[in-house]
Amino acid sequence: MGNEIKITLDGQEISVDSGKTILECACDNGIFIPTLCHYAKTTNVGACRVCVVEVENARSLVASCCMPVSPNMVVRTNTPAVRAAQKMIIELLWASGDHNCLTCEQNGQCELQNLIYWLKLDQPRFEIKTPGYEMEENNTMISRDLNKCILCGRCVRACNEIQVNEVLDFANRSSDAKVGPAFDEDYIHSSCVFCGECAQVCPTGAITLKQAKFAGRPWELHKVKTTCTYCGVGCQMDLFTKDNKIVKVMGNREYGQPNEGSLCVKGRFGMDFVAHPDRLKKPLIRYKKDDDFKEATWDEAFKFIADKLSKIKKENGADSIAGLASARCTNEENYLFQKFMRAAIGTNNVDHCARL
């Protein structure tokens, strides 16, 4: 980072770090500048130009996401020229795709929709021409509707700079430009590993999570912060639920470490097991070795176990009983489990599958 310098932002003189961009300084000082292509921790590309501002003595409007501050810079974020440029850009983006919010899964959390509202636009001044791409629906995890793509490139940067999976890039030029895997393949036929980062960063409904479709509107979902249940990284994630069902999973960016908002395919798409019909729902007891399991109440199960364990302990000693704690369960449960084995049973025969 650089030195402390003074700039004037919307009439206010403020001290800022010389290593920062205009956008970052505005953000730090509570001034809203709209963005679409900008995404923290990826390269600032200045592709969408929605973040333009006026800088005194500059030749034209500048993209605030790419422009570093300099001493005594005078910046205005809300002039008529700025707003006119922003409207033009948003209307062009609007007219270039099939942005039909009625059927769009992102309705209510679409950044393009939000900006149209913020700029108080009723309709684009240009004729709407959708590119007519076919929907990509041939896998069970991610849907792609390139008719809603605004070519901001966030997915490309997320894939290459955040996840470094190096699957997505731009292809073709001008109005034929599109994003996707090499050789215009579908995700399922490409080297995509379905981390879902592209869907997480997409500002519109172009890349969405397939299972979440028709499962609940954004404002109906309940968000619960938790820790992923798979590997030892401990990614922080948000489970979105509706009617007691997990609808989708997003990486949690608030906590930073360890995953800074990223997930892998297991965390993102591996939650179907929770609501799977195979889940056990009642205690089962096999009263004699060759019998079938019979459903039981919890009280019957606790009594059956307690009687048997007490008898075995009495006849063969506590060390004839062993327990496997679990690398899958919580700290609280592992603590109680070993306490139970040691204090209630009286043996140190407790281990788990750390070794496997």
Partner 1 sequence: MAGLAATFGSGAMTNSIDEIEFTDLILATGTNTTENHPVIGMKVKRAVKKGTKLIVIDPREIDLVKYADIWLRQNPGTDVAVINGLLNVIIAEGLYAKEYVKDRTEGFDALKKVVEKYTPAYVEKISGVPAEDLKKAARMYAKAVRASILYAMGITQHISGTDNVKSMANLSMLCGNVGIEGGGVNPLRGQNNVQGACDMGGLPNVYPAYQQVANEDVRKKFEAAWNAQLSPKPGLTIMEMMDAAGRGTIKAIYIMGENPMLSDPDLQHVKKELQKLDLMIVQDLFMTETAQLADVVLPVASFAEKDGTFSNTERRVQRIRKAVNAPGEAKADWEVICGISNKMGYAMNYASAKEIFEEVVKVTPSYAGISYERLEKGGIQWPCPTPEHQGTKFLHKDKFSRGLGLFSAIEYIAPNEMPDKQYPFLLSTGRVLYHYHTGTMTTRSEGLSERCPESLVEINPADAEKMKISEGQRVKVTSRRGTVEAKASITKKSAPGSIFMNFHFADTSVNLLTNPALDPIGKIPEYKVCAVKVEAA
d(CA 193, CA 265): 7
Question: In angstroms, what is the minimal distance from the CB of 3 to partner 1?
Answer: 23
**How far apart are CB 208 and partner 1 at their closest, in Å?**
14
C-beta of residue 45 within 8 angstroms of C-beta of residue 36? no
Of these, 14, 74, 95, 301, which contacts partner 1 (CB under 8 A)? 301
Provide, rounded to whole angstroms, the least separation between the CB of residue 198 and partner 1: 14
Nearer to partner 1, 70 or 326 (CB): 326
Q: Does 319 bind partner 1 (CB under 8 A)?
A: yes
Distance of alpha carbon 213 from the chain centroid: 15
Site for partner 1 in 44-103 (CB under 8 A): none
Residue 112 and residue 336: Cα distance in Å, rounded? Answer: 51
Which of 139, 257, 277 is closest to 208 using CA atoms?
A: 139
Which parts of 205-224 interact with partner 1 (CB under 8 A)? 211, 222, 224
For CA atoms 196, 197, 200, 206, give the dihedral sign.
Answer: negative
> What's the rounded Cα separation, in Å, for the pair 250 and 196?
9
Q: Does 42 bind partner 1 (CB under 8 A)?
A: no
CB of 206 closer than 8 Å to CB of 146? yes
Backbone angles phi, psi at 277, to 5 degrees: -60, -20
Q: Which residues contact 280 (CB under 8 A, 6 or more apart)?
A: none
Q: In this structure, what are the phi and psi dihedrals at residue 63, rounded to the nearest 5 degrees?
A: -80, 115
Give the span between the Cα atoms of 343 and 346, in whole angstroms: 5
* Of 49-57, 81-89, 122-130, 309-317: span binding partner 1 (CB under 8 A): 309-317
Shortest reach from residue 12's CB to partner 1, in Å: 31
Binding to partner 1 by residue 198, rule CB under 8 A? no
Nearer to partner 1, 59 or 276 (CB): 276
To partner 1, the closest distance from the beta carbon of 32 in angstroms equals: 26
For residue 346, state whether it binds partner 1 (rule: CB under 8 A).
Answer: yes
Residue with smaller CB distance to partner 1, 56 or 319 = 319
**Residue in 74, 88, 141, 171 binding partner 1, rule: CB under 8 A:** 141
Burial of 287 (0-12, 13-18, 19+ CB in 10 A): exposed
Query: Counting beta carbons within 10 angstroms of the beta carbon of residue 43, is it exposed (0 to 12), middle (13 to 18) or buried (19 or more)?
Result: exposed
For residues 28 and 158, give the distance between their C-alpha atoms in angstroms, rounded to a whole number. Answer: 24
Closest Cα partner for 189 from 147, 136, 264?
A: 136
> Of residues 241-280, which lie at the interface with partner 1 (CB under 8 A)?
241, 244-246, 255-259, 262-266, 269-276, 278-280
**356 sits near partner 1 (criterion: CB under 8 A):** yes
Residues 198, 206: Cα–Cα separation, whole Å: 10
140 binds partner 1 (CB under 8 A): yes
Q: State which residue, 125 or 308, has the beta carbon closest to partner 1.
A: 308
Of 58 and 344, CB closest to partner 1? 344
Q: How far is the CB of 147 from partner 1 (least distance, A)?
A: 24
Tell me which amino acid residue 157 is.
Answer: R
Residue 75 or 142: the one with the smaller Cβ distance to partner 1 is 142
Binding residue (CB under 8 A) for partner 1 from 8, 130, 190, 338:
338
- Residue 294 touching partner 1 (CB under 8 A): no
Nearer to partner 1, 116 or 199 (CB): 199
**Contact between 109 and partner 1 per CB under 8 A:** no
